[in-house]
Every structure is written in C-alpha cells, then in structure tokens.
Amino acid sequence: MRRFVLFTIGEDRPGIVSAISGVLYRMHCNIEDSSMTILRGNFAIILIVAVPDEVDVSVLESMLREEAERLGLFLTLRPIEGDGRSTKYVSYCLIKIFGEDKTGIVYKVSNLLASMGVNISDMRTKLAGRDKKLYAMLIEAEIPEEVVFEELKERLEKVAEELDVDITVEEVPTVHM
Amino acid sequence: MAVRKIITYPNPILRATCREVLELDGRIQGIVRDLMDTMNHYSHSVGIAAPQIGEPYRIICVDVSRSPHYKKKNHGLIVLINPVILEGDGEKTTREGCMSVPDFVGYVTRKRVVLVRGLDPSGREVEIEAKHLEAVVLQHEIDHLDGILFIDRITSPSSLMRREELVSKKI
C-alpha cells in the first residue's frame, strides 16, 4: 500500500467530490485525511489517499485527469512517505483575528509563531465585508513545551496592535477521558 | 479489584441508555471499584463511565487532579451513582479525547460551571458544583450514560470555526 496526496481545485459546482471520490472508490483506494472547502468560488480538495499495491498508479492518474478535465479542475497527484511528525507539542491554542484588511497580516502573525517554534496545525482566512474589507483569520496552533503561553499571547497581542486588528488568543486544554 | 478492558466505538454498549442503579449491592460496588482501577491504570485518564467497561449502569468516576498540568481548584476523586446535572452556566471550549474513541480529538463547547447531584458509593446524596475542566469532564461522563459521545457534540467539520463565525463572514 502506498500513500499519495491528491490536490485539486476549480470553479465550484455540485459533483466535484462525487467525481473524484468515485474514481478512487472504483480503484479501491481509501481516502484517509482530507480537507475540502470553497475558497472564493473555487472548490479545493486536498486528500491523503491509500492506494493498494495492485493498482496501477498511471491508470489511476489518467482516470482522475479525465474527470478533472470534464469538470475544469487543476489536479496533481504525488506520492508521500512516512507520517512526518516528530516534535512533541504539549498544548494547543486558538488565535482569532478580525480587522480591516491589509497586506501582511498572515505574514506577521505566522512569522512570530515560527520564530517561537509554534506550529500551525489548522488555519483559515476569509475576506468579507462591504464598504470596508474585513479580514478574518483563525489559527489552531500547537505549542511546544519550552514556550510559555502568556508570553506567546503577549507577543501576538503586540503584533495585532501594530496591525490595528482585534485578536483573541485562547489556550485550549486537551482532556482525555 | 480489576482493570477492565475499555470498550471502544462502534460497540453498541456505548450507544445504550444506561440503567439507573436501584440498589447499592455487591455487584454495583464491584463495578465502582473496577471503574476506579481502570481509570487509575490509564495515566492520562481523568474520567470514566461504567458503559466504557461494558457495564450499562449510571455510574461515573472523575478525577481531574490526576492531570499533571491542571492546577485549578477541584474535588479530587469523585464517584457518582445516578448523576444528574441540575444547573449549568457559561461556556467553555476544550479539545476532548476519549478512551472509547481512540485517536480522535475534537473541539467541544460545554457549560463552564455545573451543579451535579448523585449518590456517593455509600449511598449518601451529594451535590457538587464543578468549574472549568472538572465541569467539562463531568458533562462528558454523564453524556456516556445516555449513549452520547463527544463526537456527537462537534459542531462543524473543522470544529475550529464555529458555525456563527462562518455565517457572519459570508458575503
């Protein structure tokens, strides 16, 4: 069994998920993790697919391309190896930013996180609003043991102040029952 | 005294409505002991409910003091028979995980404070006002008694963006 990452994007319409997953189903491939969403009228799909050894990948890819062409999608399929996780993170935080849109929000926030070794595990941004463009950003981040949450929060709040946007930073405990 | 096997989803026991305990007999006392032994056996566990060890009775066991990072005031070990939530207030979001649903964690929003009534193992009626994590764990465990799992309480596919935020951002 091999793993592939499948990425596809194109103008949104009903039937995209069905077309792609239909090919995978017929080829006995299993969809593991996935993320699918509309981004400004485009539908984006990222899938981790387990492909059985007996499946010819070139056949699978040509079948996927056929569907992609029919639906006007850009599509890539490439092999991946391992689970790729080694660092241990001890806690999670949710960062929410709302404010008037300006360039650099994503860069300045993510740059701070990177400099502290904080890992982004989920992130979404959305531009909305009518007269004034409002920007919303939601981040779920993993905090390593050596980072003190209060310090992270303070530094993020400072960045938000410089950007003149509202921010809430919340540590979310993980509880196992 | 016995550490029992944890029943995992999709075993139908986890979906059953558990029976009220009518008499605190030897059998029930045995379940209470096994419940504590099983929770104590798993170092990361801060709560367990009887259906998780295959016993469809309304019994839960909670101890948030077992969590090494948790410093807030709490009641330590709580064993409750036939627990009911009398009142709840506020909101708190936690990333929950459950021994019966291994490898999944999800964001769940529950009451921040709860008032719970039940019987202790000696049959005495007790009322406990719990806050923060302890309140969350009590609600999670009491849910088990009605066949509800934390995965039922996740509100959106990403469980990161909550529904009202998604709606308010639509152009």
CB B84 within 8 A of CB B108: no
CATH number at residue A138: 3.30.70.260
B48 vs A90, A134, A177: nearest CB = A177
Q: State which of A102-106, A124-128, B136-140 shows the largest mean pLDDT.
A: B136-140
Residue A174's pLDDT band (cuts 50, 70, 90): confident
Q: Are residues A162 and A137 in the same domain?
A: yes
Is A94 an 8 Å CB contact of chain B?
Answer: yes
Q: What is the pLDDT of residue B99?
A: 93
**In a domain? residue A73:** yes
Report ipTM (2 d.p.).
0.71
pLDDT at A81 over 90: no
Q: Are residues A144 and A102 in the same domain?
A: yes
* Degrees to nearest 5, angle at CA A123 with A122 and A125: 160
Mean pLDDT across chain A: 93
Q: Are residues A11 and A71 in the same domain?
A: yes
Least Cα distance to B132 among B93, B83, B166, B82 occurs for B93
Q: Cβ B46–A177 below 8 Å, yes or no?
A: yes
Residue A143 belongs to domain spanning: 89-172
CB A29 within 8 A of CB A50: yes
Q: Are residues A69 and A115 in the same domain?
A: no
Q: What is the pLDDT of residue B156?
A: 65
Written as tens digits, the pLDDT of chain B (171 aa) is 699 999 999 999 999 999 999 999 999 999 999 999 999 999 889 999 999 999 999 999 999 999 877 888 999 999 999 999 999 999 998 988 899 998 788 889 999 999 999 999 999 999 999 999 999 999 999 999 999 999 899 876 665 443 333 233 332
Q: Cβ B97–A138 below 8 Å, yes or no?
A: no
Q: What are phi and psi of A81, to 5 degrees?
A: -130, 145
Percent of chain A with pLDDT over 90: 80
Q: What is the pLDDT of residue A84?
A: 62
**In a domain? residue A177:** no
Q: Regarding the domain with residue range B12-162, which homologous superfamily does it belong to in the CATH classification?
A: Peptide deformylase (3.90.45.10)
Q: In what order do the strands lie in the sheet with B78-89?
A: B47-49, B59-62, B78-89, B113-119, B125-131
3-state secondary structure of A176: strand
Lowest-pLDDT choice from A25-34, A80-89, B1-10, B102-111: A80-89
Q: Are residues A66 and A114 in the same domain?
A: no
For the record, the structure tokens of A154 come out as 């303070």
* HSE-up (13 A, CA, CB side) for residue A99: 17
Q: Are residues A111 and A41 in the same domain?
A: no
> Which residue's structure tokens are 């890992």?
A119
List of residues 6+ apart from B32 with CB closer than 8 A = B59, B61, B79, B81, B121
Q: Cβ A175–B169 below 8 Å, yes or no?
A: no
Is A176 an 8 Å CB contact of chain B?
Answer: yes
CB A92 within 8 A of CB A174: yes
Instruction: Find chain A residues with C-beta within 8 A of B44's C-beta.
Output: 176
Q: Are residues A98 and A33 in the same domain?
A: no
For the record, the structure tokens of A101 come out as 């849109």
Q: What is the pLDDT of residue A86?
A: 64
Burial of B120 (0-12, 13-18, 19+ CB in 10 A): middle
